[in-house]
Amino acid sequence: MPDLFRRIGEVISPEATKSAKVYNPGVVFDGENWHAYYRACVVEPGDWYSRLHHATSSDGITWRNHSLFLAPGAFLPCPDTRGYEDPRITWLEEDQKWLMTFTAYDGVSPRLCLAETNNFTQWVWSLDILSSFRFLGSGGYFVDWARGKPNIVRNHNPLSLSTDDVHSKSGAIFPHKLLGKYWMMFGEYCCWLASSPDGETWTAQEQPFLQARLGTQHFDNVFVEAAAPPLAIGGGQYVVLYHGIDEGLVYRLGWLVVNDKLEIVARCTESIFEPQGLECSDAIVDIVPGMMDAISSTGQALNSVAQAHANSLGLRPQVAFVTSAIVHDGMLRLYYGAGDKYIGAAEMSWTEFVAYIRRCARGNC
């Protein structure tokens, strides 16, 4: 599988916020400064909740002014007892504003939320924006890894006794209106489209837009999840990035080409970015069943507990989770959560990236 991007390396470490892990950032450049909104977990007995932090940078590599942005309890009675996760940010040129999606999590059901700003100091919040979306009722499914291999579960959440069919997360908003509306691709396990007339009130489609290639040897043969917001490549087309997860619980980056009618005109056959080095190490990876509960109940060294728990299930997850893709000074730069441990960056020429996508879309990878 090709890995097109040159790794810059670790750009935000856990030490920046005295956390055990930092990951999955929403990063943007506003014309003068870079902003990163990222997930941080302390991961101590009694405190393994996600908080969102903010940092700024002059070059997108060296970050400063780290501060708490959002913590559990910020929006009562929003169900956020386990905190906030995985921001993604899109600039809407038509409205001159930024939209940030993020997830509120209560330990049972993730709920997609939204914030908008035009100055990064004042925000307007919209909570549980897909409250009427029914996950299983719309073709979704869960994956149970409890025996070390993926088991598709279509009628209930194997990690919860709740009967609520609530599960919305990972929202990636298109940068332009299409068909007279705003659109986003969202979701994990399957991905759906949702539309909005105003960027505030959202309605999800009832059938998945993107699904895993179950029963194949592809890198996305167990489930898929939305990655960074889509990128316009000209001619009314967009590259839509997504994560593909295989039977080894490896997260890799894939792509679609979508036209301005929201039709998929091409889909990758190989990933373009995958875990390497420390991103493949035994880390405190959230997707492992019971990982956070195992951590919270012990005072042992975190990585040793994580390794022992994952090994007990026969799992060794590898994660490169891309939540931002920024075109700047002729380069396409990815920001990603590396093994759910630290934030990394990688880049390649934007011109070469678009040429590669167009060539592959014609079947000439």
Q: Is residue 359 classed exposed, middle or buried when 0-12, 13-18 and 19+ CB atoms within 10 A define those classes?
A: exposed
Within a 10 A sphere around the Cβ of 76, how many other Cβ atoms? Answer: 8
Tokens of 150: 């993926």
Q: What is the DSSP letter of 107?
A: S
The answer to whether residue 216 is domain-embedded is yes
Contact, 252 vs 244, CB < 8 A?
yes
Distance, CA of 334 to CA of 353 (rounded, Å)? 12
Asked whether residue 71 is domain-assigned, the answer is: yes
Residue 234 belongs to a domain: yes
Beta bridge partners of 346: 7, 334
Residue 144 sits in a domain whose CATH number is 2.115.10.20
Q: Which two tokens stand for residue 208?
A: 């998945």
Instruction: Estimate to the nearest angstrom the gap between the alpha carbon of 168 and the chain centroid.
Output: 12
pLDDT given at position 301: 45
Identify which of 162, 156, 315 has the alpha carbon closest to the alpha carbon of residue 245: 315
The DSSP output letter for 354 is: H
SS3 204: strand
* Residue 186 domain boundaries: 6-361
What per-residue confidence (pLDDT) applies to 300?
A: 47
* β-strands 223-226, 237-245 pairing: antiparallel
Contact between 55 and 66 under an 8 Å Cβ cutoff? The reply is: yes
List the chain pLDDT tens, one digit each, 365 residues.
567 999 999 999 999 999 989 999 999 999 999 999 999 998 666 667 899 999 999 999 999 999 999 998 887 667 777 899 999 999 999 999 999 999 999 888 999 999 999 999 999 999 999 999 999 999 999 999 877 789 999 999 887 767 789 999 999 999 999 999 999 999 999 999 999 999 999 999 999 999 999 999 999 999 999 999 999 999 999 999 999 999 999 999 999 999 999 999 999 999 999 999 766 655 556 665 555 555 555 544 455 555 555 555 556 678 999 999 999 999 999 999 998 889 999 999 999 999 999 999 998 88
Question: How high is the pLDDT of residue 75?
Answer: 78
What is the full DSSP assignment across 152-199?
A: EESSS-TT-----------EEE-SS-BTTBEEEEE-EESBEEEEESSS
* Residue 280 three-state SS: helix
Using a 10 angstrom Cβ sphere, with 0-12 exposed, 13-18 middle and 19 or more buried, the burial of residue 179 is: exposed
Domain presence at residue 1: no
Is the separation of the CB atoms in 112 and 130 below 8 Å?
yes
Is 230 within a domain?
yes
Under a CB-based contact definition with an 8 Å cutoff, are residues 220 and 246 in contact?
A: yes
What integer pLDDT is reported at residue 36 of this predicted model?
98
Of 316, 317, 343, 347, the C-alpha closest to 330 is 347
Structural domain tally of the chain? Answer: 1
d(CA 138, CA 204): 9
Domain membership flag for residue 327: yes
39-74 pLDDT, tens digit per residue, is 999 866 666 789 999 999 999 999 999 999 999 888
* pLDDT score at 225: 98
In a domain, 187, yes or no: yes
